[in-house]
Amino acid sequence: MGVVRIKENLAFPKVVLIDTVSYCNLRCSMCSHKDMKRKKGIMEWSLFKKIIDEVSRNDKSTRVWMVFFGEALIIKRTKPSIFDMLSYAKRAGLKEVVLNTNGVLLDRESSEKLIDAGLDGIFIGIDAFCEETYEKIRCGGDYRRVVQNVLDLIDVKQKKGADKFNIRVQFVEMEENRRERDAFTQYWLSKGVDVKIRQKLSWAGLSGEAAGGSWDKRHECYWIMDTMSITDTGDVAICAADPEARFVAGNLARQSIREIWNGKLKEVRELHKKREWEKLPYPCSQCGDWEVSYKDRMIRARRKGVIRGRIKRYLSRFTYLAD
């Protein structure tokens, strides 16, 4: 790992994760959601609006994820639906609203609605380049259907001319799929979408397989310094990688984002910053995922539109020659 710059203690989170829904339709091998004890539910519309309104008042460039630990497309037909939530967030002026999904429920109609609602980016977890491996990892999913759904999404994006809408496929690297990583990457790059490679998480120690960098090289966790994670009931979890929300720093039904961010969460950020590991609360105290947080790798596809745009901008400098 290279040199890591100490992060500043921000006055408002740069990233907010919202558990619009905490149910999931799969039982993936590397995800601890299947063992989640926390009561599952769908976020109340009034609470959702309160959160979005506060983000909008404070910092419209805060990146808002419409997911913390659930599958957002489960609420594609509820009232309000995930599309209503997205539209609300975009109408509030938020610049970067994104979501991740396992892609199983991402039919053509949903793709159109996501783009129409103004979604800025989507991350689709696939983790395999063959059906057999996929079935071992993404238990309950359907590889062919997911691949077709992503290809349809690319087609919808092109037909709507939604050039700024980012499609990213995700590959969590592990023993079972490692040999497929490069083929996966090449295939999806050739389709014009970005590829995100992530290391397997221990879910803040829950799975018992913490990546665990050496203790004396430990540094502040990327997630704690930037991110606020909110459950469907408004509890603010200390950790973006903890599905159980074992350490709750406050509740947004009663408090504001600023209050919690600059209260309990700030105390924990200070401990990370000062490297006082022995004083950290659980689960940070026993977690190796802080290292994974720095290892995400995004491999960007070459986009014809972007290149064409750059060439056009370059040539526009010389338009006087043709005048």
For ligand SF4, the closer of residues 21 and 221 by Cβ is 221
Q: Does 16 bind ligand SF4 (CB under 6 A)?
A: no
* Least gap, CB of 177 to ligand SF4 (angstroms): 22
Paired residues of 173 in beta bridges = 199
Q: Please choose, out of 168-176, 186-194, 281-289, 295-303, the segment that lies near ligand SF4 by the rule CB under 6 A.
A: 281-289
Give the Cβ contact number of residue 223 at 10 Å.
Answer: 23
Q: Are strands 15-18 and 227-230 parallel, antiparallel or unpaired?
A: parallel
Q: Please choose, out of 4-12, 79-87, 155-163, 280-288, the segment that lies near ligand SF4 by the rule CB under 6 A.
A: 280-288
Q: Does 249 bind ligand SF4 (CB under 6 A)?
A: no
Q: Does 283 bind ligand SF4 (CB under 6 A)?
A: yes
* Least gap, CB of 239 to ligand SF4 (angstroms): 3
For ligand SF4, the closer of residues 49 and 218 by Cβ is 218
For ligand SF4, the closer of residues 71 and 289 by Cβ is 289
For ligand SF4, the closer of residues 180 and 226 by Cβ is 226
Phi-psi group of 235: left, alpha or beta (phi > 0 → left; psi -120 to 50 → alpha; rest → beta) = beta
Q: Which of residues 20-59 bind ligand SF4 (CB under 6 A)?
A: none
Query: Which has the closest alpha carbon to 165: 180, 179, 155?
Result: 155
Query: Which has the closest alpha carbon to 128: 138, 117, 114, 115?
Result: 138
Q: Does 271 bind ligand SF4 (CB under 6 A)?
A: no
Q: Does 241 bind ligand SF4 (CB under 6 A)?
A: yes
Of the candidates 74, 156, 193, 221, which one interacts with ligand SF4 according to CB under 6 A? 221
User: From CA 151, how far away is CA 143, in angstroms rounded?
Assistant: 12
Q: Does 223 bind ligand SF4 (CB under 6 A)?
A: yes
User: From CA 238, how far away is CA 279, in angstroms rounded?
Assistant: 15
Phi-psi group of 208: left, alpha or beta (phi > 0 → left; psi -120 to 50 → alpha; rest → beta) = left
Give the Cβ contact number of residue 180 at 10 Å.
Answer: 18
For ligand SF4, the closer of residues 8 and 323 by Cβ is 8
What is the DSSP annotation of 219-232? ---HHHHHEEEE-T
Alpha helix (H) ranges present in 23-130? Answer: 45-58, 82-91, 108-117
Q: Does 69 bind ligand SF4 (CB under 6 A)?
A: no
Q: Please choose, out of 75-83, 114-122, 181-189, 286-294, the segment that lies near ligand SF4 by the rule CB under 6 A.
A: 286-294
User: From CA 18, how far away is CA 98, in angstroms rounded?
Assistant: 11
Give the Cβ contact number of residue 61 at 10 Å.
Answer: 10
For ligand SF4, the closer of residues 48 and 203 by Cβ is 203
* Least gap, CB of 221 to ligand SF4 (angstroms): 3
* Least gap, CB of 285 to ligand SF4 (angstroms): 8
Q: In the 8-state DSSP scheme, what is residue 316?
A: H
* Least gap, CB of 226 to ligand SF4 (angstroms): 10
Which structure tokens are listed for 166? 């980012």
Q: Which of residues 186-205 bind ligand SF4 (CB under 6 A)?
A: 204
Query: Which has the closest alpha carbon to 268: 249, 251, 255, 287?
Result: 249
Of the candidates 54, 120, 194, 289, which one interacts with ligand SF4 according to CB under 6 A? 289
Helix, strand or coil for residue 206? coil
Helix, strand or coil for residue 277? helix
Q: Does 230 bind ligand SF4 (CB under 6 A)?
A: no
The contact set with ligand SF4 (CB under 6 A) reads 204, 221, 223-224, 239, 241-242, 283-284, 287, 289-290
